[in-house]
Amino acid sequence: MRILSFLSVNTNIVPVAKKNGKIRICTDFRDLNEAITDVMIDNTCGFERMSFMDGFSGYNQIKMYPDDEKHTSFRTPLGVYCYTVMPFELKNVGATYQRAMNAIFH
């Protein structure tokens, strides 16, 4: 499933304090996730079963479709950046990862 091509979201970074005192930089994709929820539900209609696989950071090895990289953009004091691999915060990461695993194990 591709992210909606008409959607334009510029996500802000969210600094989060870790237990060890260091800062982890996260991105907040709630607006983007909300926009693609209906698409995900529509894509599962008509199937008897649906399962999810959880591989440790496996989705970080899946390249983003180049036209969709702009939808993962975020601002920092040094400029605007975007993800080139699937970030863990996107709602469709699980389904995309599952599709990749299905293709690999087929």
Q: For residue range 5-38, what is the model confidence (pLDDT) as tens digits?
A: 545 556 778 889 999 999 988 888 887 777 777 7
Q: For residue range 48-70, what is the model confidence (pLDDT) as tens digits?
A: 766 655 565 677 778 888 998 88
Q: What pLDDT, on the 0 to 100 scale, is given for residue 48?
A: 74
* pTM of the complete model: 0.46
Query: Could you give the C-alpha distances from 101 to 57, 78, 94, in angstroms and in order?
Result: 13, 36, 10
Distance between CA atoms of residues 8 and 72, nearest Å: 9
Q: Can you tell me the mean pLDDT for 38-52?
A: 72
